[in-house]
Amino acid sequence: MSNLLIPDPIISFQGVHKAFGRQKVLDDVSLDIERGKTTVIIGPSGTGKSVFIKLLVGLLKPDRGSILVDGEDITRLKEKRLYEVRKKFGMLFQDGALFDSMDVGENVAFPLRRHTRKSEKEIREIVALKLAQVGLPGVEHKFPSELSGGMRKRVGIARAIALEPEIVLFDEPNSGLDPVMSDAIDKLILRMQHELGLTFVVISHDIPGTFQIADRIAMLYKSKLIAYGAAQDLRDADDPILRQFFDRSAVGPIQVV
Ligand SMILES: Nc1ncnc2c1ncn2[C@@H]1O[C@H](COP(=O)(O)OP(=O)(O)OP(=O)(O)O)[C@@H](O)[C@H]1O
Ligand SMILES: [Mg+2]
């Protein structure tokens, strides 16, 4: 179930191993991620999903294996080149991670000021455009504390796409949101994917949301990639681990500790 053939993948994990001390977190994980699509990574808590994303942006190094981004092995890069490669990525952190002391406009402008030499006028235009793209036009002067959780997520997404990255990583975009807001974020992700055509890698615990946004689903379980395929194929699979996860049952091979 993990033999998806993806020509010219934008990201390729090849035999990746990662352990912390004696704890094996990823064991020989290989997977290719398709350009311009949404791949959702699922799996029980503690199976290495966040570690996967940290490896992908070079915040962690694997013990073995290669991680190619546009064909370039980022595990072997010097810090300077890695810094350049990181500009290909936009990231939505789990809690939105906005700077509370800055207004929304300054939050979205932050990566532009840090990584580009654009003029004040250009920055203001880009910020306005990105906020409009996430459905929040004109909120530049509000502060994060004045926003709802869903609005904060949207501002986080606007900031993640400010530098026009090729790849956007979302670590649990729905966490902490009520079901209605959660659905609104999924619809936004879906619409942005269609409009912008970027590569999205999403970590999610939310099963209905996963099926709403995913082109591909990868499941990590006990340090292994146990399933990877088109969302439809996984939905219909009779693998007991997948079934238990999708049916959100406490009974089955996945042990709830
Ligand atoms: N820097 C680190 N040092 C030591 N152990 C770590 C480190 N980062 C992660 N781990 C361990 O690796 C395992 C996987 O962590 P990870 O955060 O990737 O899980 P996850 O799948 O994202 O879980 P969740 O769904 O709860 O967010 C955990 O047991 C965690 O304690
Ligand atoms: Mg995590």
Q: Which ligand is nearest to the CA of 47?
A: 1
- Tell me, what's the pLDDT at 3? 54
Q: Is there a domain that residue 255 lies in? A: no
Instruction: Establish whether residue 48 lines the binding site of ligand 1, counting it when its CB lies within 6 angstroms of any ligand atom.
Output: yes
Whether 256 is covered by a domain: the verdict is: no
Task: Tell me, yes or no, whether 233 and 119 share the same domain.
Answer: no
Based on the domain organization, do 105 and 136 belong to the same domain?
Answer: yes
78 and 121 co-located in one domain: no
Q: Looking at ligand 1, which residue's alpha carbon is closest to its atom 6?
A: 20
pLDDT at 2: 52
Average pLDDT, 10 consecutive residues per value, the chain (257 residues): 76 97 95 96 91 92 96 93 91 81 96 92 96 93 92 92 93 87 90 90 90 94 93 88 81 68
**Cα–Cα dist 39/201, whole Å:** 5
Residue 145: what pLDDT? 92
54 assigned to some structural domain: yes
Closest ligand, as measured to the CA of 45: 1
**For residue 254, which of 226, 233, 230 has the smallest C-alpha distance?**
226
Q: Give the predicted TM-score (pTM) of the model.
A: 0.90
Query: Residue 166: exposed, middle, or buried by beta-carbon count in 10 A (0-12, 13-18, 19+)?
Result: middle
What's the pLDDT score for residue 13? 97
pLDDT in the model for residue 257: 54
CATH, residue 44: 3.40.50.300
